[in-house]
């Protein structure tokens, strides 16, 4: 205990909540958390949103974000309680002994100043290094973090470099003053999965080489398993479990941790293709109005009745555009869509009510997919009225049936969306789609805004409903784990093209094309040493070429 | 069940007071509107609570009738401004394309001239009557309502729930009245209070400049104009209507502020 | 610099086009509405012969388009024609009065702008404490009080009760700068009050907006003190929004000046315009309307130009 550089004892953190229509209330968001961190070690803080992990991370700098305040406990750094030193003491600590890497580097850099000035500012301000030395350090760090042209990289402005590069520059900013502790707050969450792996490797190497201690905050257990020595699992402001990374991953003690480790508990048998697909997309090329380039190039895929086609890709791959084309919101420049044996009109206006009814959609953000001024009863009831002319008793009966199907019950009929939890909102959206008795539902990233356990429940529900209603899903996602869990066939998209398409087992087994290989191998796996394996493998391959 | 904050209660009380006085003016006013009942600029007394004006009319009576005119014109202009502005704004947002372009650019053009200046230019050739005033003020101000209504509707129009309604096959009427309008109402209602204040100030300013309500009709701006020469002799009669304008505006402002705060923190749709 | 230059050119071109359209609007606004200038001058009882003669004289029998372009080209060369009411050259009368109005607006701006920015910063520094609350209360009051009330209140107390300044703001070329300043002290005070609260509140909002950015948090987490955070990180990003606030309020000042000039019987553009509106002297109204609109459009254009010039994304393209 004597050699712990960071020693947090019974930390309590409060915030002011503003419940609508009521006076503000003081609430506690972290309830007495303790942990220690030795010099040169990395501790991962993991939890879902609202677990208090970022709040705890910032407390190591004595900082509370927007109305958040440390209300009790002690934070000892290098043998002194930083909460007792006043503002002056904290200013000496911040940017010198402890530094911070924010989730969104794009927002965390001042747009009006050159990167070099910002990266070296803290080191110079605290007299850790003279200007020339700080700049030399920055260049060394740029090189170490794999940034292009390290000598001149610092002369650029933040908007002149990419998101992945900015995230590395932020790491350089944090390491430049030679701190004892760096707080990494979801440093790779905003990045695409193929970018994430490089940044992750760069961060890990930089931590190892500089011997700095680090708090690594993330919601992704597989990521934190790659970089940390110990892991603390948090939930609703309480410590759930605290142990070595090996123990947490391989022998979790608590139910909650176990659930996090094996988050996709779904088993789904892959179904063979049928002779008559419910949806046949052929040769779709599309672009947005007023833009000079195509965002979809010659895309062709089939979806079979009662099955799931997963469309996988990173941001900008065109997967959501494909959904817009199929729904008729974006008429394609060429190509054809065949649905339930008939050719669909390219534009929404030309489609019959039957076309619209049989093809439903569920959105990523259930929050904005429901009119906040309508009750659950109106939201689910409207399609019943609109497509089937149901009224009164009949409508009520069907509503109850649908609410039972999504495992919610008719007590929710008069509730407004704002009164539902995230998972419940998404269930209501599912019921709204089902109310139309569709042949096919487009699911656009339906689980990516949800916490892992809730998402798991939604996926189970969807698969269950698929069996009962024999409805086909076009499942758009960037999450490979979800795809493995639920898909029958997969289309991998990259820059507007389908680069790989086939049954799940075909697509996910070698030999791979370059992009699919990169994508699949970039998805963090829940095992120790995965990052090193992949990096070593990639180095070998590039040496071989 | 609903607690009204103190400031809003005060605002509500005075707003109601002014409106009631306007409605029941003939019952409340002690004398005739244009009746000369005393000497020039008599100080306040038991018979003339606020004294008399520049030609010996009872100032309290003038104030009550003046408030009626001011509030009537401001209300009518606000209603005109709101109906025109929000209908066109919603249409521009839902139709999009060239209709939106045409309306938005026209509004940009109108707004590039300060409203007061434009009103003066138009009033230099139009007969200055109450309907013309309401028309000019209402139409000039509808540009601001248009911008707000369009912005709010455009924001709502791209929400996923509106897209969901379009994908369901709903018509334009359902989308405007059932999806967009209920969600656009609260910012628009709060804005209505501000527009009303602006209208009160606008018509008072025009009347003060001699280009609004014409004598012998009274309105608050006009009463200021009639009595402004007294200021130099230390007679504060001109300050009384100006004070009335300010208190009415502040009261409505307090109410509008409260409506805005209350509706933005609304949970769900229960208003 | 290329994209910034392109935007700049576009913005200036837009401003000029707007001005052109506004001139058309003003012309149309005064021509197509019921009654014509001749009727306005001579009144309802005029004989048809007199009307016809006057129409001939004023060139009203020409097509509207011809008259518009004649008017516009002459205006561009500084010739606004002659006033109907007294036959004087409009450009000459406007020249003097514009000078007076700008003199008044200039001194109001000199006092109001630094004061508003200073108080805005103060409100940010003491956010949610009494100086901030005071400022928001004053703002609420000030948007609810008509300009002429502020004018008469000040006149009543400062000129009539305290007798510090004359109640009428006379000004002429023979006066020294000191005399002129003393003469316009009260209107300047009123104009300052009229724009001050607005400008304060907008400055406060603009700076708070910057202060809530993630990069301010980064700066705080570097251990910089409050002054360094504001000076090094908030300030460079606040220039454009503050300039914008200032320009918008100067544009607002241009309108406020009309009423204030009438209150203090100040020989400026505003009073000139109001006088001739009631006399239905259309050429004068057109000229004044055009000049006011031009100043207004010009100030708005300057605001946009500054924000283009200070945008790092445009100054340092990829």
- The CATH number linked to B245 is 1.10.3720.10
pLDDT at A91: 92
pLDDT at C120: 85
d(CA A279, CA A304): 7
Whether pTM exceeds 0.90: no
Angle among Cα C104, C110, C115 to the nearest 5 degrees reads 130
Which of the residues in chain B have pLDDT under 70? 1-3, 260-271
Query: Could you give phi then psi for residue A37, rounded to 5 degrees?
Result: -140, 130
Judged by a CB distance cut-off of 8 A, whether residue B224 touches chain C is: yes
Query: Which has the closest alpha carbon to B168: A424, A306, A354, A376?
Result: A354
Q: Using the predicted structure, report yes or no on whether residue A237 has a pLDDT greater than 50.
A: yes
Q: Average pLDDT, stretch A485-500?
A: 92
Q: Average pLDDT, stretch A86-95?
A: 91
Number of domains chain B is built from: 1
Residue B86 within any structural domain of the chain: yes
d(CA A511, CA A519): 14
Residues of C in contact with B224 (CB under 8 A): 148-149, 152
Q: Average pLDDT, stretch A57-63?
A: 92
Mean pLDDT, chain A, integer: 89
Q: Which helix (H) or strand (E) holds A310?
A: strand A308-312
Q: For residue A96, give the nearest of C220, C223, C233 by CB distance.
A: C223
Residues near A325 by Cβ (< 8 Å), separated by ≥ 6? A281, A284, A286, A296, A331, A332, A337
pLDDT at B271: 29
Q: Using the predicted structure, report yes or no on whether residue C236 has a pLDDT greater than 50.
A: yes
d(CA A144, CA A168): 10
Residue C124 DSSP SS3: helix
Residue B1 within any structural domain of the chain: no
CATH class (in words) of the domain with range A279-509: alpha beta
Residues near B177 by Cβ (< 8 Å), separated by ≥ 6? none
Asked if C171 contacts C185 with a C-beta cutoff of 8 angstroms, the reply is no
DSSP string, A156-215: S-GGGS-HHHHHHHHHHHHHTT--SEEEEESTTTTS-HHHHHHHHHHHHHHHHHHT-EEE
pLDDT at A100: 95
Confidence of residue A64 (pLDDT cuts 50, 70, 90): confident
d(CA B61, CA B32): 7
Residues of B in contact with C282 (CB under 8 A): 124-125
Confidence of residue C2 (pLDDT cuts 50, 70, 90): low
d(CA C272, CA C293): 15
Reading across the β-sheet that carries A296-303, which strands appear in turn? Answer: A296-303, A279-286, A334-339, A342-343
pLDDT at C34: 54
Reading across the β-sheet that carries A4-17, which strands appear in turn? Answer: A25-38, A4-17, A68-77, A80-81
Question: Which residue of chain A has the CA closest to C235?
Answer: A112
Please state, for a pLDDT cut of 90, what percent of chain A lies above it. Answer: 53
d(CA A327, CA A347): 8
d(CA B251, CA B243): 12
d(CA A488, CA A277): 13
Confidence of residue C37 (pLDDT cuts 50, 70, 90): low
Q: Using the predicted structure, report yes or no on whether residue A21 has a pLDDT greater than 70.
A: no
DSSP string, B100-167: HHHHHHHHHHHHTS-HHHHHHHHHTTS---HHHHHHHHHHHHHHHHHHHHHHHHHHHHTSHHHHHHHH
Residue C288 within any structural domain of the chain: no
Angle between helices C130-144 and C90-125 (to 10 degrees): 150
Question: Which residue of chain B has the CA closest to C295?
Answer: B113
Residue C141 within any structural domain of the chain: yes
Residue B145 within any structural domain of the chain: yes
d(CA B126, CA B120): 10
Shortest Cα–Cα distance, A417 to chain B (Å):
6
Shortest Cα–Cα distance, B267 to chain A (Å):
6
Residue C86 within any structural domain of the chain: no
pLDDT at B267: 35
> Which of B118, B125, B210 to probe by mutation at the C interface, max C CB count within 10 Å?
B125
Asked if B254 contacts B197 with a C-beta cutoff of 8 angstroms, the reply is no
- Give the best-scoring range by mean pLDDT among A427-431, B94-98, C44-48: A427-431
Are the beta carbons of A111 and C316 separated by less than 8 Å? no
Number of domains chain C is built from: 1
- The residue that leads in pLDDT, A173 or A52, is A173
Residues of B in contact with A386 (CB under 8 A): 168-170
Tell me which of A292-301, C76-85, C275-284 is least confident: C76-85
Domain A4-261 matching CATH 3.30.1490.190: the answer reads no
Residue A370 DSSP SS3: coil
Q: What is the pLDDT of residues C128-167, one digit of tens each?
A: 778 788 877 777 777 778 888 888 888 888 877 777 777 6
Q: For residue C222, give the nearest of A107, A121, A160 by CB distance.
A: A121
d(CA A415, CA A375): 5
Q: Using the predicted structure, report yes or no on whether residue A488 has a pLDDT greater than 90.
A: yes
Residue B214 within any structural domain of the chain: yes
Q: For residue A361, give the nearest of B164, B179, B182 by CB distance.
A: B164
Q: What is the pLDDT of residues A291-339, one digit of tens each?
A: 888 899 999 999 999 999 999 988 888 898 999 999 999 999 999 999 9
**Which tokens is C150 given?**
């502020």
Residue A94 DSSP SS3: strand
d(CA A378, CA A385): 10
Q: Average pLDDT, stretch C260-285?
A: 86
Q: Using the predicted structure, report yes or no on whether residue A24 has a pLDDT greater than 80.
A: no
Are the beta carbons of A126 and C237 separated by less than 8 Å? no
**Which tokens is C298 given?**
């010009």
d(CA B44, CA B60): 10
Q: What is the pLDDT of residues C12-24, one digit of tens each?
A: 888 888 888 888 8
d(CA B166, CA A348): 8
How many other CB atoms are there within 10 angstroms of residue C32's CB atom?
A: 10
Helices (H), C126-146: 130-144
Judged by a CB distance cut-off of 8 A, whether residue B250 touches chain C is: yes
Residues near A508 by Cβ (< 8 Å), separated by ≥ 6? A484, A490, A520
Residues of A in contact with B6 (CB under 8 A): none
**Which tokens is A11 given?**
């930390």
DSSP string, A320-355: HHHHHHHHTSS--SEEEEEETTEEPPSSGGGS-HHH
d(CA B120, CA C25): 13
**Which tokens is A369 given?**
């997919």
DSSP string, chain B: --PPPHHHHHHHHHHHHHHHHHHTHHHH-SS-TT-B-S-TTPPP-SSSTT-B-TTSBBHHHHHHHHHHHHHHHHHHHHHHHHHHHHHHHHHHHHH-HHHHHHHHHHHHHHHTS-HHHHHHHHHTTS---HHHHHHHHHHHHHHHHHHHHHHHHHHHHTSHHHHHHHHHT--HHHIIIIIIHHHHHHHHHHHHHHHHHHHHHHHHHHHHTTSSSPTTS--HHHHHHHHHHHHHTT-GGGHHHHHHHHHHHHHHHHHHHHHHHHHHT--TT--
**Which tokens is A193 given?**
């999965």
- The residue that leads in pLDDT, C243 or C221, is C221
**Which tokens is A333 given?**
């420049």
How many other CB atoms are there within 10 angstroms of residue A316's CB atom?
A: 14
Q: What is the pLDDT of residues C224-233, one digit of tens each?
A: 988 888 888 9
Residues near C156 by Cβ (< 8 Å), separated by ≥ 6? B231, B234, B236, B239
Please state, for a pLDDT cut of 70, what percent of chain B lies above it. Answer: 94
Residues of A in contact with B163 (CB under 8 A): 329
Asked if B152 contacts B188 with a C-beta cutoff of 8 angstroms, the reply is yes
d(CA A225, CA A45): 11
Q: Which chains touch B (3 or more CB pairs under 8 A)?
A: A, C
Are the beta carbons of C233 and A110 separated by less than 8 Å? yes
End-to-end, the C-alpha distance of chain A in Å comes to: 50
pLDDT at A33: 92
> Which of C210, C213, C221 to probe by mutation at the A interface, max A CB count within 10 Å?
C221
Shortest Cα–Cα distance, C107 to chain B (Å):
21
pLDDT at C215: 92
> Which of A330, A372, A435 to probe by mutation at the B interface, max B CB count within 10 Å?
A372
**Which tokens is B143 given?**
């540009």
Helices (H), A389-510: 392-405, 422-435, 452-469, 480-486, 504-507
Give the domain ranges of chain A. 4-261, 279-509
- The residue that leads in pLDDT, A277 or B194, is A277
Asked if A215 contacts A60 with a C-beta cutoff of 8 angstroms, the reply is yes
What CATH number does residue C246 fall under?
1.10.3720.10
d(CA A276, CA A257): 44
Confidence of residue A500 (pLDDT cuts 50, 70, 90): very high
Residue C105 within any structural domain of the chain: yes
Q: Using the predicted structure, report yes or no on whether residue A1 has a pLDDT greater than 50.
A: no
Q: Average pLDDT, stretch A124-144?
A: 93
Judged by a CB distance cut-off of 8 A, whether residue C227 touches chain A is: no
Residue C8 within any structural domain of the chain: no
Show contacts of A261-269: CB within 8 Å, 24+ apart.
A261/A221, A261/A526, A263/A221, A263/A452, A263/A453, A263/A456, A263/A481, A264/A456, A264/A459, A264/A481, A264/A482, A264/A484, A264/A485, A265/A456, A266/A456, A266/A459, A266/A460, A266/A463, A266/A485, A266/A486, A268/A463, A268/A485, A268/A486, A268/A487
**Owner of token pair 């009669």:** B237
Query: Which has the closest alpha carbon to A11: A78, A71, A99, A51?
Result: A71
d(CA B203, CA B211): 9
Q: Average pLDDT, stretch A84-108?
A: 90
Q: Using the predicted structure, report yes or no on whether residue A137 has a pLDDT greater than 50.
A: yes
Query: Which has the closest alpha carbon to A147: A127, A166, A130, A129?
Result: A166
pLDDT at B44: 77
Query: Could you give phi then psi for residue A311, rounded to 5 degrees?
Result: -105, 115
Are the beta carbons of B179 and A368 separated by less than 8 Å? no
Q: For residue A416, give the nearest of B159, B167, B270 by CB distance.
A: B270
């Amino acid at each position: 205990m004597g050699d712990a550089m960071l020693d947090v004892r019974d930390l309590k953190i409060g915030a002011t909540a503003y419940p609508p229509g009521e006076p503000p209330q003081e609430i506690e968001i972290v309830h007495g958390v303790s942990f220690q961190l030795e010099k040169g070690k990395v501790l991962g803080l993991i939890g879902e949103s609202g677990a208090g992990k970022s709040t705890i991370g910032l407390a190591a700098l004595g900082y509370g974000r927007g109305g958040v305040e440390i209300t009790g406990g002690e934070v000892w750094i290098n043998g002194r309680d930083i909460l007792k030193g006043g503002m002056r003491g904290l200013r000496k600590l911040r940017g010198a002994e402890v530094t911070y890497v924010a989730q969104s580097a794009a927002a965390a850099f001042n747009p009006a100043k050159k990167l070099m000035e910002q990266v070296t500012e803290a080191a110079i301000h605290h007299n850790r290094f003279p200007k020339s030395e700080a700049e030399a350090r920055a260049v060394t760090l740029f090189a170490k973090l794999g940034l292009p042209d390290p000598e001149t990289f610092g002369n650029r402005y933040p908007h002149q470099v990419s998101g992945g590069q900015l995230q590395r520059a932020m790491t350089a900013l944090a390491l430049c003053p030679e701190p004892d502790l760096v707080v990494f707050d979801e440093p790779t969450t905003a990045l695409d999965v193929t970018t994430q792996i490089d940044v992750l490797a760069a961060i890990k190497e930089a931590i190892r080489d500089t011997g700095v201690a680090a708090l690594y905050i993330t919601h992704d257990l597989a990521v934190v398993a790659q970089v940390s020595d110990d892991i603390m699992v948090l939930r609703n402001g309480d410590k759930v479990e605290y142990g070595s990374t090996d123990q947490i991953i391989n022998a979790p003690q608590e139910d909650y941790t176990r659930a996090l480790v094996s988050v996709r508990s779904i088993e789904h048998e892959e179904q063979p293709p049928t002779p008559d697909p419910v949806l046949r997309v052929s040769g779709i090329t599309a672009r947005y109005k007023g833009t000079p380039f195509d965002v979809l190039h010659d895309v062709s895929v089939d979806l079979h009745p009662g099955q799931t086609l997963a469309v996988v890709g990173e941001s900008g791959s065109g997967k959501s555009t494909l959904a817009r084309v199929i729904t008729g919101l974006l008429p394609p420049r060429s190509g054809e869509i065949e649905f339930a044996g008939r050719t669909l009109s390219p534009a929404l206006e030309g489609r019959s009510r039957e076309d619209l009814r049989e093809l439903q959609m569920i959105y990523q953000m259930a929050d904005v997919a429901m009119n906040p001024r309508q009750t659950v009863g109106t939201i689910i009831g409207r399609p019943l009225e609109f497509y089937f002319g149901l009224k009164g008793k009949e409508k009520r009966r069907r509503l109850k049936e649908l609410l039972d199907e999504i495992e919610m019950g008719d007590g929710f009929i008069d509730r407004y969306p704002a009164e539902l939890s995230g998972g419940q909102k998404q269930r209501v959206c599912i019921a709204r789609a089902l109310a139309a008795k569709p042949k096919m539902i487009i699911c656009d990233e339906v689980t990516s805004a949800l916490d892992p356990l809730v998402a798991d429940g939604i996926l189970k529900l969807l698969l269950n409903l698929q069996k009962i209603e024999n409805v086909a899903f076009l499942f758009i996602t960037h999450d490979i784990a979800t795809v493995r869990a639920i898909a029958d066939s997969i289309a991998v998209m990259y820059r507007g093209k389908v680069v790989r398409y086939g049954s799940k087992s075909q697509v996910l087994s070698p030999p791979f094309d370059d992009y699919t290989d990169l994508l699949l191998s970039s998805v963090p796996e829940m095992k120790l040493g995965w990052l090193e394996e992949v990096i070593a493998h990639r180095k070998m391959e590039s040496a071989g070429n | 069940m609903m607690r009204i904050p103190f400031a809003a209660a005060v605002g509500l009380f005075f707003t109601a007071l002014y409106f009631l006085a306007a409605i029941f003016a003939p019952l409340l006013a002690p004398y005739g509107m244009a009746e000369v009942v005393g000497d020039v600029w008599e100080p306040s007394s038991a018979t003339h609570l606020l004294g008399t004006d520049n030609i010996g009319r009872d100032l309290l009576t003038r104030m009550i009738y003046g408030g009626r005119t001011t509030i009537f014109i401001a209300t009518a202009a606000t209603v005109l401004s709101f109906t025109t502005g929000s209908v066109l704004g919603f249409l521009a947002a839902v139709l999009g394309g060239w209709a939106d372009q045409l309306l938005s650019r026209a509004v940009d053009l109108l707004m590039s001239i300060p409203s007061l200046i434009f009103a003066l230019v138009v009033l230099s050739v139009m007969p200055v009557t109450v309907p013309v005033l309401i028309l000019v003020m209402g139409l000039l101000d509808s540009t601001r309502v248009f911008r707000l209504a369009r912005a709010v509707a455009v924001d709502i129009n791209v929400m996923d729930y509106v897209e969901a309604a379009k994908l369901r096959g709903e018509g334009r009427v359902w989308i405007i009245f059932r999806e967009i309008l209920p969600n656009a109402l609260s910012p628009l209602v709060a804005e209505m209070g501000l527009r009303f204040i602006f209208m009160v100030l606008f018509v008072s300013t025009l009347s003060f400049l001699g280009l609004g309500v014409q004598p012998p009709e009274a309105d608050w701006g006009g009463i200021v104009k009639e009595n402004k020469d007294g200021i130099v002799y230390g007679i504060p009669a001109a300050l009384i209507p100006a004070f009335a304008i300010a208190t009415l505006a502040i009261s409505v402002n307090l109410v509008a502020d409260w409506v805005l705060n209350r509706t933005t923190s609304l949970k769900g749709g229960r208003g | 610099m290329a994209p910034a230059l392109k935007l700049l050119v576009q913005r200036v071109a837009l401003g000029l086009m707007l001005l052109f359209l506004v001139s058309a609007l003003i012309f149309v606004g005064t021509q197509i509405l019921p009654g014509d200038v001749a009727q306005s001058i001579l009144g309802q009882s005029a004989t048809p012969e007199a009307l016809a003669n006057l129409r001939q004289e004023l060139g009203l029998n020409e097509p509207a388009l011809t008259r518009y372009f004649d008017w516009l080209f002459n205006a561009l060369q500084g010739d606004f024609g002659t006033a109907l009411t007294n036959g004087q050259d409009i450009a000459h009368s406007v020249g003097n009065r514009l000078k007076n109005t700008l003199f008044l607006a200039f001194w109001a701006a000199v006092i109001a702008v630094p004061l508003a920015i200073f108080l805005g910063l103060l409100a940010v520094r003491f956010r949610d404490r009494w100086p901030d609350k005071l400022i928001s209360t004053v703002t609420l009051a000030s948007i609810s009080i008509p300009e002429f009330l502020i004018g008469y209140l000040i006149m009543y107390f400062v000129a009539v009760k305290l007798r510090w300044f004359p109640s009428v703001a006379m000004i002429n070329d023979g006066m020294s700068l000191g005399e002129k300043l003393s003469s316009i002290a009260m209107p300047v005070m009123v104009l300052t009050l009229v724009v001050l609260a607005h400008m304060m509140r907008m400055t406060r909002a603009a700076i708070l907006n910057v202060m809530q950015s993630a990069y301010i948090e980064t700066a705080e987490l570097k251990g910089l003190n409050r002054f360094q955070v504001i000076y090094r990180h908030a300030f460079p990003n606040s220039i454009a929004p503050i300039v914008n606030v200032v320009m918008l309020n100067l544009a607002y000042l241009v309108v406020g000046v009309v009423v204030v000039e009438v209150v203090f019987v100040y020989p400026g553009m505003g009073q000139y315009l109001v006088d001739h509106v009631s006399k239905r002297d259309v050429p004068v109204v057109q000229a004044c309307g055009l000049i006011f609109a031009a100043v207004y459009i010009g100030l708005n254009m300057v605001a946009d130009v500054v924000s283009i010039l200070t945008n790092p994304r445009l100054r340092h393209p990829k």
